[in-house]
Amino acid sequence: MLTGISIVFLGGDARQVEVINKCVELDAGVSVVGFDRLNPPLTGVSQEKINPALLANADVIILPVTGCDDQGAIPAPFSAEQLVIEQEWFSSIRQGTLVYTGIAKKLLKQMGTEHGFRIIELLERDDIAIYNSIPTAEGAVMMAIQNTDITIHGSTCIVLGMGRTGFTLASTLQGLGATVKVGVRREDDVARAVQMGWKPFATRDLAANIGEVDLIFNTIPTMIVTAQIISKLPRRTVVIDLASAPGGTDFRFAEKRGIKAILAPGIPGIVAPKTAGIIMANTTCQSILEEYHLRGDEE
């Protein structure tokens, strides 16, 4: 249970609603900012405006998956007003306060260092990344179906990167009957790809492996689908870039050449917000419980 713990939620999408409901269920004291237009409205919470006192009284602050940008703006799609945390307000957050986000950008990291609050980046956790890879793979396949005039079955697909998302996506495409090639960088990834029945190649050799490709799925957050690569792609090829913005594709040149290229970060929150929210809720609440248990042991 989270009884006696004061949790403040600052903005967020439908995924955050699941986290809020879970915290209420576990008896935390929950205040929310940026949910004034949510329908139906949240129950068991206190609707607030962002202010230094609210931040000062929080034991835990939970930001959206994308956190805040370097001007302090926080995504709040369920609010009629723009949500911004002023830089001077960060000093109100007490030392040792847990600040949860998916990804922490430069400003948040800098403020955490200066003011002594602890930032926990949930998307850095292996368990969340693995769970999230499932709706990401399903969403990527959905986008592929929507943007091609062929079936996945019988197609030739390239997956660039064999991290958590790349592995799940390659398995999903294989299960649908695609021929799957994977661009990898490490020898152990080569071995795993061979074991799974995929066709591995070194990412530096991408140009030699695109001759008959129908779909390219990129998970690598650095420029890899370059203008040189795009110039050699069959015109029917569709590129779906799942890496965080700005992605790893030269979208300008793809448009110029008539290659359909789609930047699609954050798919779990788009195609399966409830499932993605439950994943975030369970992991966040478990982390809070663990953190407070450790503090109790230290005392």
Residues 265-285 pLDDT 10s: 888 888 888 998 999 999 999
Question: Residue 266 CB: number of other CB atoms within 10 A?
Answer: 19
Rounded mean pLDDT, 64-85: 93
> Does residue 30 surpass a pLDDT of 60?
yes
**Cα Rg for the chain, rounded, in angstroms?**
21
Measured between alpha carbons, how far is 105 from 280 in angstroms, rounded to an integer? 19
Residue 106's pLDDT band, with cuts at 50, 70 and 90, is very high
Query: What is the reported pLDDT for 173?
Result: 98
Quick one: pLDDT band at residue 261, thresholds 50, 70, 90?
very high
Global model pTM greater than 0.95: no
Q: Which tokens is 7 given?
A: 């949790």
Question: Looking at the predicted structure, is the pLDDT value of residue 294 above 70?
Answer: no
What does pLDDT average to over the chain? Answer: 93
* pLDDT single digits (tens) 132-172: 899 999 999 999 999 999 999 999 999 999 999 999 999 99
